[in-house]
Chain A
Amino acid sequence: KQEVTQIPAALSVPEGENLVLNCSFTDSAIYNLQWFRQDPGKGLTSLLLIQSSQREQTSGRLNASLDKSSGRSTLYIAASQPGDSATYLCAADTNAGKSTFGDGTTLTVKP
């Protein structure tokens, strides 16, 4: 059974700082690894999707990497802004068609 862990559970940083969010998964037979953003009381917005054959994906100030062999993915946020404050979730899609989410990292960027 796939288990997805996100560390830390919460993170507070000053504006402008670069930061890394971590996601680990126990079953390396994944199809995709996806990062989402969730604002309080809202649904999920897909940020980046990394297919199993890829090592990283970039979108603006966001960069996500994937290391299947070690069961890890990281989300790097450059030059953080207060508007980046949200909960970030990763989800691992297995070849069996199942998706497992982590509990998320709640990020606060202070002005």
Chain B
Amino acid sequence: DAMVIQNPRYQVTQFGKPVTLSCSQTLNHNVMYWYQQKSSQAPKLLFHYYDKDFNNEADTPDNFQSRRPNTSFCFLDIRSPGLGDAAMYLCATSREGTGLGEAFFGQGTRLTVV
């Protein structure tokens, strides 16, 4: 059974139109992460939550925001998507907060911007 679920798997949005990606987990893990992965590149950490504490990476664009209303859910909001934001977005969870530790990833959402 899937433990980290991302919806939708594929998302097409228009240039500049706000879009929200969602992630849910059944593991009751404290930490949830959002990564951006462009083709043939390493996943790049955007931000992570340790419980309700939000941690933003220094080079994450202001265009990206996140919400974690409860332990199980985390959302990635892209306020005004540009063509350069087309990528795979990966959600991950872990119990610990020191690096990834033993991490569980969702299947990702592939975002296309037209």
Q: Residues on A close to B: CB < 8 A? A: 4, 31-32, 34, 36, 41-46, 49, 89, 91-95, 97-104
Q: Across the interface, do A99 and B102 meet the contact criterion of CB distance under 8 Å? A: no
Provide the B6-50 mask, 1 if CB < 8 A to any CB of A, else 0: 100000000000000000000000000000000011111100000
Majority secondary structure of chain A interface residues (helix, strand, loop or mixed): strand
Chain A nearest CB from B56 CB (Å) reads 13
Does B107 sit within 8 A of A, measured CB to CB?
yes
Name A103's contact: one of B4, B40, B103, B110 (CB within 8 Å): B40
Question: Contacting B110 at CB < 8 Å: which of A31, A41, A46, A91?
Answer: A41
- Given contacts A102-B42, A103-B41, whether A43 and B107 have CB atoms under 8 Å apart is yes
| A11 CA to B97 CA, complexed, in Å | 34
B87-111 contacts to A (CB < 8 Å): 88, 90, 92, 97-108, 110
Task: Say which residue of B6, B45, B88 sits within 8 Å of A99 (CB atoms).
Answer: B45
A-B pairs, 7 with minimum CB distance = A93-B99, A101-B42, A43-B105, A44-B105, A99-B100, A43-B107, A43-B108
* Least CB separation from B57: chain A residue: A98
Contact B100 A45 (CB under 8 A): no
Closest-by-CB residue of B relative to A4 is B42
Distance in angstroms from B86 CB to nearest chain A CB is 14
- Compute how far the CA of A111 lies from the CA of B40 in the bound complex, rounded to whole angstroms: 24
Q: Write out the residue numbers on chain A whose beta carbons fall within 8 Å of the beta carbon of B98.
A: 31-32, 93, 95, 97
CB distance from A33 to the nearest CB of B (A): 10
Return B63 CB to nearest CB of chain A, in Å: 22
